[in-house]
Amino acid sequence: MDDHQRIHDLPSEQKPREKMAALGAEALSNEELLAIFLRSGTKKSSAIEIGRKLIRKHGGIVPLARIDLKELCKEHGLGLAKACQLQAAFELGSRAARDSCSTVSLSNSLAIYHFLAPQLAHLPNEKLFVLSLHSNGRLIRMRELSSGSINQTVASISEILRPVLIDQAPNFVIAHNHPSGDSAPSRPDRLLTKNLAKAAHTMSLQLVDHLIIGRPMRGSQGYYSFAEENLL
């Protein structure tokens, strides 16, 4: 498709909305899905090409979804209205993913990783989350506890346990991301986990896991699980 070719001038079977109606949303590429939200392009680029350039520039849909609204507004072909439309779509997708996990067991590290990675892996700063769980591993509630600098987030043990007690949850998970992509735990990570597990035990709570979310690299699966390493 030529960058300057309008969607209006495409054959019917190549237009995103008509293609979705005929074949379903799963048949559309990421840039075609973005084009449906953008609705129109510019004099120089179609909505599909704007979507393609956004994905290419930011390295995919997940990092694109994490861009601050003010920064998104500055992207070529967007502006406030279209940037808000895209962020609303991304947020709905994120909420749908969280809601779907209310019926999925998060009692093992791999399931927790698959739930958290799309939300945490590409964040520019470290964030710490606590997930309150039912005894069967189903999610009660997920909360962000703290947001740190490029390489550090801080929360006290009492701050971590407070929402778990409020939720009356017997089990819980904590998780944070490493923006560098390296999921190896730091010394403070190890110390926090050790002390938190002890404190939880005295309150008859079970720390199911502390997961560090990075990105898959050579020789690394993209996360570190204290439970899998038998360190809880």
| 13-18: Cβ within 8 A, 24+ apart | 16/47, 16/48
Q: What is the pLDDT of residues 6-53, one digit of tens each?
A: 676 677 777 888 888 888 888 888 888 888 888 787 877 888 888 888
* Superfamily of chain region 105-225: Cytidine Deaminase, domain 2 (3.40.140.10)
127-133 sheet: strands from edge to edge? 139-147, 127-133, 171-177, 206-213, 223-225
Residues of the chain with pLDDT under 70: 1-6, 8-9, 97-104, 148-154, 218-219
Counting every residue, how long is the chain? 232
Here the tokens at position 74 are 């500055």
Does the pTM exceed 0.75?
A: no
Which pLDDT value is given to residue 102?
59
**What pLDDT score does 134 carry?**
92
Single-letter code of the amino acid located at 152: Q
| Residue 24, token pair as written in the block | 């379903």
Answer for the pair 229, 221: CB distance below 8 angstroms, yes or no.
no
Dist. CA 94–CA 210, nearest whole Å: 22
Each domain of the chain, given as residue ranges in start order, spans 7-97, 105-225
Specify the pLDDT at position 122: 73
